[in-house]
Amino acid sequence: MQRRNFLALALAAPTLTTRAFADEPQVRLRELYNKDMSFTEFATSNEGKRVAIEGFMAPPLKAESNFYVLTNRPMAVCPFCSSEAEWPNDILAVYAQRIVDVIPFNVKIVTRGTLELGTHTDPELGFVSRVRIVDAVQVRA
């Protein structure tokens, strides 16, 4: 590749990436459930589609995993590891494309992936979820 072509591609890449992500609807965790815990119109109309959700990575349940929990607020303690910790009702199970590099609990991230609805029990961890993001990638917000 010629240097000129490489530079043109390198300069265009952020724009191309931004446009690709602009097509993904962005949602907040609280916008997935109605007050009666049924799924919102947003959730049902975007099931099976790629979405972007901001939140915080809860401390991992196990090392070197492709699974993590996205929370609406920072959590310094793994809720499964401490009886005092209260597990929030606005959480989301995330299954990443590859092993997750843990991001500090107090750093906001954006998770992008395919929205799945319906009760699912993780066969390895036993974690039960009603809503998940699969095939996910995450970046600092």
How do residues 98-120 score in pLDDT, each as one tens digit? 999 999 999 999 999 999 999 89
Locate tokens 């043109």: which residue?
Answer: 8
DSSP 9-76: HHHHHHHHHHHHHHTSPEE-GGGSB-TTSPBPHHHHHTTTSEEEEEEEEPPPSSSS-SEEEEESS--S
Instruction: List, in order, residues 6 or more apart from 127 with CB less than 8 Å away.
Output: 61, 67, 69, 93, 121
How do residues 3-15 score in pLDDT, each as one tens digit? 444 444 444 444 4
**SS3 state at 42:** helix
Tokens in use for 31?
């916008």
How do residues 46-90 score in pLDDT, each as one tens digit? 999 999 999 999 888 778 899 999 999 898 876 555 444 444 568
> What's the CA gap between 50 and 21, in Å, rounded?
9
Going along the chain from its start, the domains and CATH numbers come out as 25-140 (2.40.50.870)
